[in-house]
Amino acid sequence: MTDAAPQDMPQTHETWRQRLGLIPADHYYREDVLTAEIERVFARSWLCVGFVQDLAQPNDFLTFQVGPHSIVVQNCEGVLRAFRNVCSHRFARIQCTRSGNRPLTCPYHGWTYDAAGRPAGIPLNRQNFEFNDADKDALALKAYALETVGHFVFVRMNSEGPDLKTFLGSFYDDLAHVSEACPDRFEHEVLDWSVNWKLGMDNAAEGYHLPMVHSGSFSLILSTDLTLSTDAGHSRYTGKLRDRSRKWWDNVARAIELERGDLYPEYASFLIFPNIIVTFSYGAFLTFQTFEPTGTDSLRLTTTGWLGKNNGRAARDMVAESLRGFTKQVRDEDRDICQVTQAGMRDAPPQRPPLLGAMEDRIAEFQRTYMRLMTPPPPAERDMP
């Protein structure tokens, strides 16, 4: 950030300077910044790549994208392993879909890898390569650390770093709690937005936009009077549901015999750095979102919805359908306004961060954690007009 005030900012007083964030506008579209983020932010952090429910059977797998890097998590005879999703032979992707069930076998030449990532099966090895066991050990896939908590499967790309519980702090117990409280998954969507991943996180972090962007949806159910707490670089909002929302949930609870968790009986939202947003309502409705960086101006949003224990009867499907419609409306509203803002980032003073008011304090917490990892930030390649 430069010391000189941009010419398009007011010069009569300095109050606005006290409200500046930490991430400059050009960090939302520069290629060198994304490259640095993958190395300094994502590789050092524990990333939620999926859910244990999707990896229950031998040869179940899922893949996760971090910029150009693909991670595969594979059920290897009942044990979950995470690897770089690139064959050691000619560098083809091994698992080529988002999820599925097949051995860890390269589709190009049929190299098959075992639970240690070694190419245990190499077609025509004797005639073509004559690799021995030591050669196979040297050609093992790059392995990543993997841990689970509740529903959630986490991977850390760096070989060194804190364990998952240390990384999450008190949010480790929060994820365990919401997993136990909400075992009934009713929604799973993977969506592509033309938005930088940080902009998606900034938007999801604050409630200031609710009356304007979500006037007919989210703002009707949640008070904007939220309490912030932080731990280990992550943040938590807690608040009250509006009366109309609480009454709706009371009716649902009676209709489907819905059980509630008691830790957050009204509303809680967790921002787990770097790219997770969790919302938990009425102690019985969980949404879990990850914002994967796929480019400077693009992200992949994976969103799932979960209900508390219930009687599983027809009314449950009606409730799930209502919640799917509601969450889709909110997501679409967020996507549209984020894409408007992404376009504006390229026309903003490039080295000036956006303003953050008191109701955007969770963005400030997110940006402080981000800048601790990114400092010193990569220099601008050129000055933007």
Contacts for 110-113: CB closer than 8 Å, 24+ residues apart: 111/87, 113/83, 113/140, 113/141
What pLDDT band is residue 13 in, cutting at 50, 70 and 90?
low
Partners of 306 in beta bridges: 185, 286
pLDDT at res. 218: 63
Partners of 14 in beta bridges: none
Query: Cα(104)–Cα(77) distance, rounded to whole angstroms?
Result: 11
Share of the chain above pLDDT 70, in %: 92
Rounded to an integer, the average pLDDT of 97-118 is: 97
Give the three-class secondary structure for 56.
coil
pLDDT at res. 290: 97
Using the predicted structure, report yes or no on whether residue 381 has a pLDDT greater than 60: no
pLDDT at res. 7: 47
Using the predicted structure, report yes or no on whether residue 367 has a pLDDT greater than 90: yes
pLDDT at res. 4: 41
Q: What is the pLDDT of residues 32-69, one digit of tens each?
A: 999 999 999 999 999 999 999 999 999 999 999 888 89
Q: What is the pLDDT of residues 138-186, one digit of tens each?
A: 999 999 999 999 999 999 999 999 999 999 999 999 999 999 999 999 9
Q: What is the DSSP letter of 363?
A: H
Q: Strands (DSSP E) along the chain, which ranges?
A: 46-51, 60-66, 69-76, 79-84, 99-101, 112-113, 119-121, 143-149, 152-156, 184-193, 227-231, 234-239, 267-272, 276-281, 285-295, 298-307
Answer with the residue of higher pLDDT: 4 or 205: 205
Q: What is the pLDDT of residues 320-361, one digit of tens each?
A: 999 999 999 999 999 999 999 999 999 998 888 999 998 899
Rounded to an integer, the average pLDDT of 115-122 is: 97
Answer with the residue of higher pLDDT: 368 or 221: 368
Query: Cα(61)–Cα(153) distance, rounded to whole angstroms?
Result: 12
pLDDT at res. 14: 65
Single out the residue of 231, 82, 59 nearest to residue 153, CA to CA: 82
Using the predicted structure, report yes or no on whether residue 382 has a pLDDT greater than 50: no
Residue pair 187/170 in contact (Cβ under 8 Å)? The answer is no
Share of the chain above pLDDT 90, in %: 83
Q: What is the pLDDT of residues 175-221, one digit of tens each?
A: 999 999 999 999 999 999 999 999 999 999 998 898 899 888 765 66
pLDDT at res. 366: 96
pLDDT at res. 67: 84
Query: Cα(203)–Cα(34) distance, rounded to whole angstroms?
Result: 19
